[in-house]
Amino acid sequence: MAPLGCGAPIAGWLARSRGIRVEPEEVVVVAGTAQALTLLHPVLRADGIDAVAVEDPGSLGTRQHLRSGALATPPVPVDDSGVRVDALGATGARAVLLTPAHQFPTGVVTSGERRRELLSWARNGGLILEDDYDAEHRYDRPPVPALRALLADHVCYMGSVSKLLAPALRIGWVIPPSRHRDALIDAKRFTDLGNAVLPQLVLARLMESGDLERHLRLLRGRHRRRRDAMIKAITEHLPGAVVHGAAAGLHLTVTYTPEVPDTELATAALARGVKCQPLSWHRQLPGRPGLVLGYAATPPGAVAEGVALLGDALRELA
């Protein structure tokens, strides 16, 4: 199959923004990271991989995409430096799915020491599936380079426009290690013959003209104001709550006291018109209750109102 419409602009974009240097034909265009994970099922199995370790807490959605292909997903705890590589080794899994630039949902940025440990784990026969889902949204620190930029043969890199432009566009990209490339292209071909080309041409224009970068600069300012409004409202309406992962991304994770189950709190919040995700959805291991609160799509005033309603819900349940 010939490389699809926007391989070259995506390769250019990744070089500029993520330090990844690849040829356009190394970019496999897919319908988002969700599809990438599904396409990887047969590719991983053919490589003798039947388990992909996942971060804990870690995205429920991506774990479900792995599980739908009957891959086991042993959990690996995340601490303040990122995923614990000693615990990863103990799972015996040969592959791991990671969000190293901004861990979902805790927001932890993998430390330099932990990145070195991870790269050493991979060099010893491990495969890292790098989900670079919102690396572009940085407020208080520069982005860390992608792991793929450091270790091409042991990292399968995945990204998409979902957090850059809109998830509804369903455009993403995979840079697999070269030994997996043909099998991945076959999987894409037999799934849908390739992504629609017109949306790819629109994306190519946005990337090549500099409009996408301009758009992101605008968004960073807007998101920072929304994030600041959320942190202020949390201090006011959820006293004692701890905010995690504020330096980047499009959401905050909060852990709170008293220890009301987070599923109950999220249900009570929804009844008041506030949508948020319980942290326990994203856990396989026991841990503190919490909420994942998105702020990207909500203006500051409405963010503050929503957090105030959350505070009411928590007080009532407590």
Binding site for ligand PLP (CB under 6 A): 32-34, 59, 61-62, 99, 104, 131, 133, 160, 162, 167, 172
3-state secondary structure of 76: strand
Rounded Cα–Cα distance for residues 31 and 127 (Å): 22
Q: Tell me if 318 sits within 8 A of 249, measured CB to CB.
A: no
Beta carbon of residue 32, minimum distance to ligand PLP (angstroms, whole number): 3
Beta carbon of residue 119, minimum distance to ligand PLP (angstroms, whole number): 21
Residue matched to tokens 């003209």: 209
The 10 Å Cβ neighbour count of residue 287 is 15
Query: Can you read off the two tokens belonging to residue 265?
Result: 């709190």
Beta carbon of residue 292, minimum distance to ligand PLP (angstroms, whole number): 9
Beta carbon of residue 249, minimum distance to ligand PLP (angstroms, whole number): 10
Nearer to ligand PLP, 160 or 255 (CB): 160
Q: Tell me if 36 sits within 8 A of 157, measured CB to CB.
A: no
Nearer to ligand PLP, 58 or 311 (CB): 58
Nearer to ligand PLP, 106 or 313 (CB): 106
Q: Which residue is nearest to ligand PLP (CB)?
A: 32
Sign of CA dihedral 114, 287, 297, 233: negative
Beta bridge partners of 252: 293
Beta carbon of residue 107, minimum distance to ligand PLP (angstroms, whole number): 11
Beta carbon of residue 15, minimum distance to ligand PLP (angstroms, whole number): 20
Nearer to ligand PLP, 175 or 233 (CB): 175
Beta carbon of residue 296, minimum distance to ligand PLP (angstroms, whole number): 12
Among 227, 237, 231, 254, residue whose Cα is nearest residue 309? 237
Nearer to ligand PLP, 99 or 255 (CB): 99
Phi, psi (degrees; rounded to nearest 5) at 195? -65, 150
Contacts for 67 with CB less than 8 Å, ≥ 6 apart: 73
Rounded Cα–Cα distance for residues 186 and 169 (Å): 23
Q: Tell me if 202 sits within 8 A of 58, measured CB to CB.
A: no
Half-sphere exposure of 73 (CA within 13 A, CB side): 26
Query: Can you read off the two tokens belonging to residue 241?
Result: 């709550």
Nearer to ligand PLP, 84 or 170 (CB): 170
Nearer to ligand PLP, 11 or 174 (CB): 174
Nearer to ligand PLP, 75 or 89 (CB): 75
Beta carbon of residue 219, minimum distance to ligand PLP (angstroms, whole number): 17
